[in-house]
A and B are shown apart, each in its own frame.
Chain A
């Protein structure tokens, strides 16, 4: 059985999000609260969200040993 230990990590203004800083915050999350999953909710039009996910967010999947899941496109 899977067991999600996660925070909501919501990009309210995805187009202006500094992905380097966002990555640093995920690292901090993993370190300070022992999370195993990051739920990334992107506040953007679906086409824009898909573009972000296929570029910067794919990289987020690979950091810190945590899984990153795109959980919704607003």
Chain B
């Protein structure tokens, strides 16, 4: 892309495999520092589904693989571990918090991206409260 200088902010959808964050950060950092613009992840998240942390943008895994709350926790914790120390990083807009939550919603059986009532929410709150 050749028009970063016309933008106010640089952003990325951070659906990166849990084991590839160092490579992705190095790739992004080159652009951010070259153009000296704020950077944040405009969309990033992971389902609470087994193996999703390795391919977090693949929603087809939801309902195909077993529910796994720990997978979502590991994704968020890994992302925060890599991104929080970065001086040029300015935050996240996580995917997602659903607008319409059914009255009978049960977080313990939801294998999707929402973190409402799930262990990942505690990880997020701990980082966001700093």
Task: Write the residues of chain A forming the contact surface with B, with a CB cutoff of 8 angstroms.
Answer: 1-12, 17-18, 21-22, 25, 28-29, 32-37, 39, 71
B128 touches A5 (CB 8 A): yes
How many chain-B residues does the 8 Å CB contact rule pick out? 24
Task: Write the B63-104 contact mask toward A (1 if CB under 8 angstroms, else 0).
Answer: 000000000000000000000000000111111111111000
* Given A32-B116, A32-B121, A34-B128, A9-B100 contact (CB < 8 Å): no
Which secondary structure dominates chain B's binding surface? mixed
Contact across chains for B91 and A17 when beta carbons are under 8 A apart: no
The closest CB in chain A to the CB of B98 belongs to A25
Which of B93, B99, B125 is A6 in contact with, Cβ under 8 Å?
B93
